[in-house]
Amino acid sequence: QSVLTQPPSVSGAPGQRVTISCTGTSSNIGAGYDVHWYQQLPGTAPKLLIYGNSNRPSGVPDRFSGSKSGTSASLAITGLQAEDEADYYCQSYDTSLSGRYVFGTGTKVTVL
């Protein structure tokens, strides 16, 4: 069961900016644990997109950015491209009975 809540879907035209929210609680994001983001293209394994709230691994375009505030985090995609159509998941760490690592519910990004 997912502990972090994301919108099921977001969409935008090529070139637009979209944002994906990730809402947690005081036992995960609000407790100060980092938020990481993953991109999952159809039929493939997830890929690390953003780590430590706002850091991009080598090779990830700077169109992707992350932020965190309080019990929530956000992923922004600027200059949306067709290749960005994928599922996106946030992930953090949790100290409650939910158990250690927690993922978001996932967001499908559609490029119109």
Does residue 74 interact with another protein by CB under 8 A?
A: no
Contacts of 3 (CB under 8 A, 6+ apart): 24, 25, 28, 94, 98, 102, 103
Minimum separation from the CB atom of position 16 to another protein (A): 25
Does residue 109 interact with another protein by CB under 8 A?
A: no
Can you tell me which of 52, 61, 70, 79 binds another protein, judged by CB under 8 A? 52
Give the tokens for residue 34: 């980092």
Can you tell me which of 47, 67, 71, 78 binds another protein, judged by CB under 8 A? 47
Contacts of 83 (CB under 8 A, 6+ apart): none
- Which residues inside 82-101 make contact with another protein, applying CB under 8 A? 89, 91, 93, 97-101
Can you tell me which of 2, 11, 81, 110 binds another protein, judged by CB under 8 A? 2
Instruction: Return d(Cα 96, Cα 112) in angstroms, integer.
Output: 39
Of 44, 18, 46, the closest CA to residue 104 belongs to 46
Contact residues for another protein, defined by CB under 8 A: 1-2, 33-34, 36, 38, 45-48, 51-52, 57, 89, 91, 93, 97-106
